[in-house]
Amino acid sequence: MRMRIAFVAFVVAATVGTPAIAQTVKHIQTEGAGIASAVWVGDMLYVSGQLPNPKTPADREKGTAAVYGNTQEQAESVFAKIQTMLKEQGLGMGDVVMMRVYMAADPAIGNKIDFAGMNAAYAKFFGTKEQPNKPARSTFQVAALVAQGALLEVEVQAARSK
């Protein structure tokens, strides 16, 4: 019994007495933005969810909504934005280790998600001869996204290799 108590006391002391490893944290953000576009924590870069750029911007005077295109076009836009953000941080698409894709139904195809369209765009950036790495990935269907007409949003985590 004493041995058990001594062991438990040792484990507790070792756990409580061990300081956490300090991580450098750096927020990548622009003035006036509501969120950081990305955050470095040590050698990990957490990129906020990215929406596609509209092919045609909304026109408030005419009351017209932005036009984003189909799922594949939107996914290509999002992946290109992510690629640019990573490049600005000294990383590439091959450094992406985790990806989360949030997809909304497309009214143009019977209110279904176009998983094949998203995957076609994905295949242009991941698993290619030039960039063979593929990240771990989760894909979720959501009721809607914050930008009316957007069909997907993608967030990634990338790791800087040592």
pLDDT digit string (tens) for 55-109? 999 899 998 888 999 999 999 999 999 999 999 999 999 999 999 999 999 999 9
pLDDT in tens, 118-139: 999 999 999 999 999 999 999 9
Q: Confirm if 124 and 96 have CB atoms less than 8 A apart.
A: no
Assigned token pair, 122: 């994905």
3-state helix, strand, coil in the chain (%, to 5): 30, 30, 45
Strand 38-41 to strand 44-50: parallel, antiparallel, or no bridges (unpaired)?
antiparallel
pLDDT at 14: 52
Better-predicted residue by pLDDT, 31 or 121: 121
For the chain, the farthest-separated pair of C-alpha atoms sits apart, in whole angstroms, at 80
Spatial CB neighbours of 90, under 8 Å, sequence gap ≥ 6:
160
Q: Is 107 helix (H, G, I), strand (E, B) or coil?
A: helix
> Which among 99, 106, 121, 122 is positioned nearest to 49, based on CA atoms?
99
pLDDT at 106: 96
Query: Structural domain boundaries of the chain?
Result: 2-159
Rounded CA gap, 85 and 39, in Å?
11
- CATH fold, domain 2-159, is 60s Ribosomal Protein L30; Chain: A; (3.30.1330)
Confidence of residue 22 (pLDDT cuts 50, 70, 90): confident
Q: Cite the DSSP H helix spans in the chain.
A: 2-17, 71-88, 115-122
Strand 38-41 to strand 152-159: parallel, antiparallel, or no bridges (unpaired)?
unpaired
Q: Confirm if 102 and 146 have CB atoms less than 8 A apart.
A: no
Confidence of residue 32 (pLDDT cuts 50, 70, 90): confident
